[in-house]
Amino acid sequence: MDAIVIDTLEPLVAELRAGGYAVVGPVVRERVIRFEEITSADRLARGWTDVQEPGRYRLAEGDGEMVFSFAASPDSAKAYTQPPRQTLFRMRGEQIEEAEEDAPRVALLGLRACDLAAIAVQDRVFLGGRHPDPAYLRRRQALLLIAVNCAVPGGTCFCVSMHTGPRATTGFDLALTELAAPHRFVVETGSARGEPIAAALPHRPASAEDLAASAEVSRDAAEHMGRHVETEGIQERLSAHDSPRWAQVGARCLTCANCTMVCPTCFCSTVEDATSFTDGTAERIERWDSCFTLDFSEVNGTPVRGSNPGRYRQWLTHKFSTWIDQFGMSGCVGCGRCITWCPVGIDVTEELANLP
Amino acid sequence: MTGGPHPMTPAPYRVRSRRPDRADTVTLTLEPVRGDCPPFRPGQFTMLYAPGVGEIAVSISGRARSGGYTQTIRAVGAVSAALCGKRPGDVVGLRGPYGQGWGLRAAAGLDVVVAAGGLGLAPLRPVVRALLRDRPGYGRVSVIAGSRAPGLLLFRRDLACWARQGADVRVIVDHPDHTWRGPVGLVTGLIDRVVFEPRRTYAFVCGPEAMMRKTAAELVRRGVAPGRVELSLERNMKCAVARCGHCQFGPLFVCEDGPVLPYDRVAPMLAVAEL
Ligand SMILES: Cc1cc2nc3c(=O)[nH]c(=O)nc-3n(C[C@H](O)[C@H](O)[C@H](O)COP(=O)(O)OP(=O)(O)OC[C@H]3O[C@@H](n4cnc5c(N)ncnc54)[C@H](O)[C@@H]3O)c2cc1C
Ligand code: SF4
Ligand code: SF4
Ligand code: FES
């Protein structure tokens, strides 16, 4: 279907809800843009923008009518593709039953190009290997992805360096570009599932001017990246395991794991076990884990990576180098979340630039 | 595309027999509650689940006559202790077998040195059995095993049996007691005592990482090709299917790319602290 133009988002939200989707979009909560379920487009973070710098996030007033004038939220699609906690199975006697948790139909409204790239990375991890995960596939198939092309990249963004944005070109069901004067949205369709939804909205065909204005939004965004990474030769640079830089960054790093929690691609997990007192059923739970914890690498009572520099090096090297060896793609999509949400403002782009 | 079971779901296995090997180590024979035990390659491991306690990686130390796996477990923490405490008839969870096994095929026609430190003998036991089952297929077969103390030596009956079947079997201990008449020291001290033609030799090494590094370096110094020395690495493992991230070693997932890996591939990484 050719691109269309819609004037407001309310019909879209209504159409999605009528189609059985919980609509999850960006709202203001505790002075941060968070993703949560909305029942009306009125709830969206219209008129707000954000200021993001290393270790710093501030909500600010933006242009009153614009709905999507901010960059990445600490939330990402990861909470929906790989829930923070999920029950794996229950065992009682000789019976083992998979949990088969529900995969709710969710429409994620307001994903950015980097977020779509991060979902593609997770698809590769959970579906592309020798042991594809049927629960991931169920959740993934229940997600409808509605992208918004970035107009106002944040101070910590570098999707252009990672070749993942700022424009959503693939991996979405619908993609919106928000335009001003007059306020409207160009809607592109990216899948068979997106077609009937777009068709059901009150719309008009996009004109040549609409399309040109939409392309201009992305061209302009690409020129306003807050940060940059030189990816040429990055694997060689990260093979400098003995650089003094690791000790320097390790001395600043609190190993708090914030960076891995906000990262939309970090997939590491661990397991927890519990037994019911009433009937003896044993239950296994998988939950997010982080390479910054000490017991992550514990073998025979001693962590392999016992020092902060060792753990920081593992994270940075994995994201930007060994991930490519493992999955044929970078583990970083350039969303900047880890930089913004690092309590001491450690900036991966700066660390990479300062390696030999 | 993926209608199958979840990769983290074990199958129920029943403990058929339990044999204490030493004070802290038992060998369990495990049989599936339903269906057959899948085939395994020497060097592979399973994930054993003690209900309600946790799940750990354990090598397959052999196949029992009844068809089940034998697995030899040392009680070092909550999960291994719970598994060691299982009795015949108890049910545990088992997934696998997983991982790359020993390169038996690449060793065909060559002298073979099998070097074990402590519990490292467990994953090597099936490879020695395979070598001796096909005795004419290989040159000289030497088994060198190190143990902390004479009383901690594993698989004594197997060692004696392998010697009768034509392997040169040598044992060394670190801390001898008054009964010990054999050599004293580290496994590397036995490399000089067994006969092999370095340029036509393949080696399988398993034990603590420091022991494997020293043994591999010594074999290579003696002229064995680094690509013909295989080590079985140990890393923290939660999933065994390349999804939990715990076992990463540089670009490798030890669970899928290993645990058995050629020395030439891992030597540069083993030299890096905290990789
Ligand atoms: C490929 C492979 C094969 C193994 N084969 C055997 C075997 O045949 N027999 C045997 O007794 N042991 C074997 N181990 C070691 C065994 O997995 C650990 O002893 C066990 O995980 C300890 O768990 P725990 O909870 O009892 O002890 P704790 O010390 O409480 O361990 C806590 C957690 O740390 C991790 N951990 C600790 N030590 C290790 C370790 N050495 N390897 C991996 N994860 C570890 C586990 O996730 C464990 O649950 C093997 C390990 C690997 C990786
Ligand atoms: S490493 Fe940082 S910038 Fe890259 S994808 Fe993860 S959170 Fe975003
Ligand atoms: S880099 Fe920053 S966010 Fe990540 S663990 Fe270290 S202190 Fe925490
Ligand atoms: S054990 Fe989970 S990735 Fe290897």
The SS3 of residue A350 is helix
Whether B144 and B115 have beta carbons less than 8 Å apart is answered as yes
Whether B94 and B48 have beta carbons less than 8 Å apart is answered as yes
Whether A281 and A96 have beta carbons less than 8 Å apart is answered as no
pLDDT by 10s per residue, chain A, length 356: 899 999 999 999 999 999 999 999 999 999 999 999 999 999 999 999 999 999 999 999 988 899 999 999 999 999 999 999 999 999 999 999 999 888 899 999 999 999 999 999 999 999 999 999 999 999 999 999 999 999 999 999 999 999 999 999 999 999 999 999 999 999 999 999 999 999 999 999 999 999 999 999 999 999 999 999 999 999 999 999 999 999 999 999 999 999 999 999 999 999 999 998 888 999 999 999 999 999 999 999 999 999 999 999 999 999 999 999 999 999 999 999 999 999 999 999 999 999 87
R_g over Cα of chain B = 18
Q: B153-192 pLDDT, tens per residue?
A: 999 999 999 999 999 999 999 999 999 999 999 999 999 9
Mutate to test the interface with B, among A299, A312, A329 (most CBs of B within 10 A): A299
The SS3 of residue B107 is helix
The SS3 of residue A147 is strand
Residue type, A243: S
Give the pLDDT score at A64.
86
Q: Which of residues 223-242 of A touch B (CB under 8 A)?
A: 241-242
Element spanning A311, H or E: helix A308-317
Cβ–Cβ below 8 Å for B33 and A94: yes
Selecting from B244, B251, B275 the residue whose C-beta is nearest the C-beta of A326 gives B251
- pLDDT of B1 above 70: no
- Contacts for B273 with CB less than 8 Å, ≥ 6 apart: A310
For A143-293, where are the E strands, in sequence order? Answer: 143-148, 174-179, 184-189, 204-205, 269-275, 282-288
Whether B248 and A321 have beta carbons less than 8 Å apart is answered as no
Cβ–Cβ below 8 Å for B7 and A299: no
Cβ–Cβ below 8 Å for B12 and A326: no
Q: What is the 3-state secondary structure (H, E, C) of A2-54?
A: CCEEECCCHHHHHHHHHCCCEEEEEEEECCEEEEEEECCHHHCCCCEEEEEEC
Cβ–Cβ below 8 Å for A270 and B12: no
Selecting from A89, A298, A306 the residue whose C-beta is nearest the C-beta of B274 gives A306
CA dihedral A13→A18→A21→A22, nearest 10 degrees, is: 60
What is the secondary structure of B219-262 as a DSSP string? HHHTT--GGGEEEE-----S-SSS-S-TTEETTEEHHHH-BEEE
The CA–CA distances, whole Å, from B91 to A321, B12, B36 equal: 42, 6, 16
For residues A241 and A232, give the distance between their C-alpha atoms in angstroms, rounded to a whole number: 18
Kindly report the pTM of this predicted structure: 0.96
The SS3 of residue A248 is helix
- pLDDT of B2 above 60: no
Q: Cβ of A267 under 8 Å from any chain B Cβ?
A: yes
Supply A299's token pair: 């073998």
Supply A9's token pair: 């988002």
For chain A, where are the E strands, in sequence order? Answer: 4-6, 22-29, 32-38, 48-53, 56-61, 85-92, 95-98, 106-111, 143-148, 174-179, 184-189, 204-205, 269-275, 282-288, 298-299, 302-303
Which residue is closest to B240 within chain A, CA to CA?
A: A131
For residues A79 and A65, give the distance between their C-alpha atoms in angstroms, rounded to a whole number: 29
